[in-house]
Amino acid sequence: MVFAPDTEVALRTVVGLINSAANGEEHLATMADLDRFLTAEGFSGARSRDAAELASVHKLRSQLTELWTMDEDSAVDTVNRLLRDANALPQLIKHDEWDWHLHATTREAPLADRMGTEAAMALVDVIRSKEMDRMLVCAAEDCDAVVLDLSRNRSKRYCDTGNCANRAHVAAYRARKAAS
């Protein structure tokens, strides 16, 4: 394990959120799409379930997409802004199936603030641990999805949105066969 379990969950949620708009596809177009995403990610708390909430999640997604490839200093500025904008106040919380873990907003805070704060708190750990090199963009030439490399040997290069790794491996195999 590279990070605390709740940090890894939050980072995987960030990847899922960013990749919901990867490769020119929109997977959070409707409130039903957002509901499915939040259920799959185990996100709880208050919801307004309106167009403004969906727009605020899209705005957060854009900010996190930009942050994913920033240098450390720029990422710190963005993380601090996300925390400031949400009036984050870290505290230990126990709920549902989760033991004690950090929350920095209340369950009643707007969804995008809660999501942004969870992402920012996880990214704090990434930055403090000097592990930003684990935040990658898919190595496939035709893919712009992001990758979180939590492997022990830092070998993950392809996203989980499709079959990028399989296509690359097949192409490499065919190239080797053609060369011999």
3-state secondary structure the chain: CCCCHHHHHHHHHHHHHHHCCHHHCCCCCCHHHHHHHHHHHCCCCCCCCCHHHHHHHHHHHHHHHHHHCCCHHHHHHHHHHHHHHCCCCCEEEEECCEEEEEECCCCCCCHHHHHHHHHHHHHHHHHHCCCHHHEEECCCCCCCCEEECCCCCCCCCCCCCCCHHHHHHHHHHHHHHHHC
User: What is the pLDDT of the chain when averaged over all its residues?
Assistant: 93
Q: Residue 44's pLDDT is what?
A: 87
Question: Across residues 75-96, what is the average pLDDT?
Answer: 92
Residues 102-158 have pLDDT tens digits of 889 988 999 999 999 999 999 999 999 999 999 999 999 899 999 999 999 999 999
| Lowest-confidence region among 31-40, 77-86, 165-174 | 165-174
**Reported pTM:** 0.88
Q: Residue 83's pLDDT is what?
A: 95
Residue 1 pLDDT level (bands cut at 50, 70, 90): low
